[in-house]
Each structure stands twice: as structure tokens, then as C-alpha cells.
């Protein structure tokens, strides 16, 4: 028998969450962002549920090839554009749209021989200071692209650093407005956080929104808001079972480093899930977890293949009881991945992307 751990992907949740992105930006088109192998869910596993999107955005050319292999004929956008000149050949062959964020990428285009001119998304660095042309250089970059026979259409794109937080997007919107004012072309600014929080503003939703984490049911501005607030559903469940039960006496400790000491008699369960499955080792005692759909907490250190949970709230639990590390539990129970991530000092994005290859993945309905 394999270990009882598995990750489940929920296509209906994906479709629901994508519809939420549409509802937030009704007159915009929606990119389903499927980079990092669809945030760890698997490009092939999410494809059917997300094919109602207007396009797919990602950054790995091999993932773009996988989408075309699924017979996706619609738009695909490379969010970081080309990494080297010969990537342009693949863009030509597969009809990929690509971001142009630096002078070198324009040089490569100018030297590229293609029969089919490309659609490019010229990126403004409006304050994130990762990729993109600074406002003073933006117009010149646009003018250069505009005269290239290799370029068919120029769209404009930027990315927010603080759409999920207190700084907000006003400073970047101001830089964007000034740099793009009289340039033609479709526009895309918003990630999930901006789509959820600011897309009432037509200038923010623009022509295309880029829905990443929200498509998977992650809450970009947790804990300010939660899944219920934004009406999102987890698209991934990580679940396992109890391998063993221990009855602790006062003074007994649990696991490596004896990080937890029972103060009173305590029943604990040992779960077949550890950091080698992608469950964060940083999760301290008290991290939320569901046993038989009942909310309880982890106790002691997470080890490579196991972790331990307090069975106080679940007296009926026994070997084989179902454990939900995040996502959907039995009886309609739900544990948000963002809660677990917060306990580990990180964000849901990282947990989704880090589920280990050894964890078998099952798609609901298959
Ligand atoms: C990852 C990414 C997104 C999606 O971000 P979420 O916060 O997951 O919605 C959008 N745009 C760019 C450029 C990205 O790299």
C-alpha cells in the first residue's frame, strides 16, 4: 500500500474562482496565470477547468508547449518574455505573445527572421523595480518596437508590488498614467489582488486582468480578508491519514527536539505527512489542521514523513482517520491554505508550489 497522503485538485473550484475574476472585471479579458506548473496544481490538470479563460499566462516556454499540446489555440502570454534570441523562434512557431521588458529583447526582435509578426506586451517598471522600462525610457522603447516589421501589435503591461497591502497602487497608477497617456494598445495591470480590490476602477481592470492565486482559491490579502470574503474556493486539498495514536502523560514530550510537552493527559495522532511532502517544517505547535473534518492543531516539530496533531477536540479519531492539511475536509469542512501558510511565516503561493513530487495527485471526477 502506498502512504495514504494525496493532493486532490478540484476542477469545479477552479472554474468557480475564474468566474469570480470575471465578475470583478466584467468587461475585461482574463488571463489564467498558470506559471510554476499552474501554481503546483499541474498545467494538464487545471486546463479543462480554466479553458474558459481568454488566455493563459506563464513564463516557462516548456509549459507553453504543453498548453499547445493540449490543443489550446488561444492566446498564451510569456510574462517574462524571451530569455534568449532563439526563444523567438518558438514564439513564432507556437504563436506566443511575449513581454518585452528590456532593450536586449528589442535587439533580439530586430534581428529575428519571422514570417509572422509578433504581438508583444511592452512592460513598464512603474515602481516594482523588477522587470520593465523605467517611465523615462518607455516611450522610446515603444517607438523602436513600433517601426519593427517583426512586431504586429504592441500592448502595454505593468505589475503592482502592493496591491495586497497598505501601500496600495496609487503611486504606480500615477507612473503608469503618465508613461502611457497617449500610447495606443491594449493594457494589462492587475494581478489577483488588484482584480479583487481595485478592479471597480476601469483604468485598473483595463483590457486584461491576470488572475493567478485567486484562480486556485488563495487569498492574496489574507488575513485582512479570507476566502469567504472574496467567495473563493480551494482548488487543492492536501490530505492524509492517521498512522498511529499515542496517549501522552503529563510531562511527555513529542518529536524531535522535544518541542512540545503535555501538561495534562493528551491523545495525539501521528499523520502521514511531513516536510518531504511539502508541508512546511516551520509550522509551529498550534498550526491549524482538520481531523475527521474537526479543526485542531499540530503539536511538536514537523518531521520528514510525519507530523503530530492534538486529538483533544476529536475523541473518536483513530488510526486511519482522515486528516486535512489544507483544502476541503469531510462534511463540508474547509481549511484555508493561507492559514497554514501564515503559521509557517509564508504565503499560500509557496505551499501550493511546494507540494513534493512524491505526493500522488488525484483530480476530482477522474
Ligand atoms: C504571477 C504573476 C501574476 C499573477 O499574480 P497573482 O498574485 O498570483 O494573481 C500576474 N502578473 C505577473 C507579471 C506575474 O508574474
Which pLDDT tens digit goes with each residue over 296-308? Answer: 999 999 999 999 9
pLDDT of residue 366: 67
Give yes or no: residues 240 and 182 share one domain.
no
Whether the predicted model's global pTM rises above the 0.85 cut = yes
**Residue of 39, 113, 241, 256 marked catalytic:** 256
Last residue of a domain, one of 155, 186, 218: 218
Segment 25-56, tens digit of pLDDT: 999 999 999 999 999 999 999 999 999 999 99
pLDDT of residue 2: 84
Residue 123: active-site member: no
pLDDT < 50 positions in the chain: none
- Asked, for residue 175, whether it belongs to a domain, the answer is yes
24, 78, 79, 156: residue to mutate for ligand 1 pocket, most atoms within 8 A of CB? 79
pLDDT of residue 234: 98
Give yes or no: residues 59 and 93 share one domain.
yes
Give yes or no: residues 211 and 285 share one domain.
no
- Asked, for residue 3, whether it belongs to a domain, the answer is no
Residues with CB under 6 A from ligand 1: 33, 35, 79, 159, 191-193, 210-213, 220
Number of domains in the chain: 2
- Asked, for residue 38, whether it belongs to a domain, the answer is yes
Give the ligand 1 atom nearest the CA of 79: 13
- 91 lies in which domain range? 11-218
Give yes or no: residues 208 and 324 share one domain.
no
User: Hunting for cell 494589462 — which residue is that?
Assistant: 188
pLDDT of residue 132: 98
Give yes or no: residues 258 and 163 share one domain.
no
Give yes or no: residues 214 and 240 share one domain.
no
Give yes or no: residues 272 and 191 share one domain.
no
Amino acid at each position: 500500500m502506498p502512504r495514504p497522503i494525496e493532493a486532490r485538485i478540484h476542477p469545479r473550484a477552479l472554474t468557480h474562482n475564474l468566474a469570480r475574476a470575471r465578475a470583478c472585471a466584467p468587461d475585461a479579458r482574463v488571463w489564467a496565470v498558470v506559471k510554476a506548473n499552474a501554481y503546483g496544481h499541474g498545467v494538464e490538470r487545471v486546463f479543462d477547468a480554466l479553458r474558459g479563460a481568454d488566455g493563459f499566462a506563464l513564463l516557462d516556454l516548456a509549459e507553453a508547449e504543453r498548453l499547445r499540446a493540449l490543443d489550446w489555440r488561444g492566446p498564451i502570454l510569456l510574462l517574462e518574455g524571451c530569455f534568449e534570441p532563439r526563444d523567438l523562434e518558438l514564439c513564432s512557431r507556437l504563436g506566443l505573445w511575449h513581454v518585452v521588458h528590456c532593450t536586449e529583447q528589442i535587439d533580439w526582435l530586430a534581428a529575428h527572421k519571422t514570417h509572422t509578426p509578433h504581438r508583444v506586451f511592452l512592460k513598464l517598471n512603474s515602481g516594482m523595480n523588477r522587470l520593465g522600462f523605467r517611465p523615462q525610457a518607455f516611450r522610446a522603447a515603444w517607438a523602436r518596437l513600433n517601426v519593427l516589421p517583426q512586431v504586429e501589435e504592441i500592448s502595454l503591461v505593468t505589475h503592482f508590488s502592493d496591491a495586497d497591502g497598505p501601500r496600495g497602487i496609487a503611486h504606480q497608477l500615477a507612473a503608469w498614467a503618465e508613461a502611457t497617456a497617449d500610447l495606443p494598445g491594449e493594457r494589462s495591470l492587475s494581478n489577483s489582488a488588484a482584480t479583487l480590490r481595485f478592479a471597480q476602477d476601469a483604468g485598473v481592470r483595463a483590457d486584461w486582468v491576470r488572475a493567478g492565486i485567486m484562480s486556485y482559491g488563495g487569498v492574496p490579502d489574507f488575513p485582512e480578508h479570507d476566502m469567504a470574503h472574496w467567495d473563493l474556493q480551494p482548488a487543492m486539498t492536501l490530505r492524509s491519514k492517521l498512522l498511529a495514536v499515542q496517549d501522552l502523560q503529563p510531562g511527555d514530550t513529542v518529536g524531535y527536539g522535544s518541542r512540545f510537552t503535555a501538561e495534562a493527559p493528551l491523545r495525539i495522532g501521528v499523520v502521514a505527512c511531513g516536510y518531504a511532502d511539502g508541508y512546511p517544517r516551520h509550522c509551529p505547535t498550534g498550526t491549524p489542521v482538520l481531523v475527521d473534518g474537526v479543526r485542531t492543531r499540530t503539536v511538536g516539530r514537523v518531521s520528514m514523513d510525519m507530523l503530530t496533531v492534538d486529538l483533544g477536540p476529536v475523541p473518536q479519531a483513530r488510526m486511519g482517520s482522515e486528516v486535512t492539511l489544507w483544502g476541503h475536509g469531510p462534511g463540508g469542512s474547509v481549511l484555508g491554505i493561507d492559514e497554514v501558510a501564515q503559521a509557517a511565516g509564508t504565503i499560500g503561493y509557496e505551499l501550493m508550489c511546494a507540494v513534493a513530487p512524491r505526493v500522488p495527485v488525484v483530480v476530482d471526477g477522474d
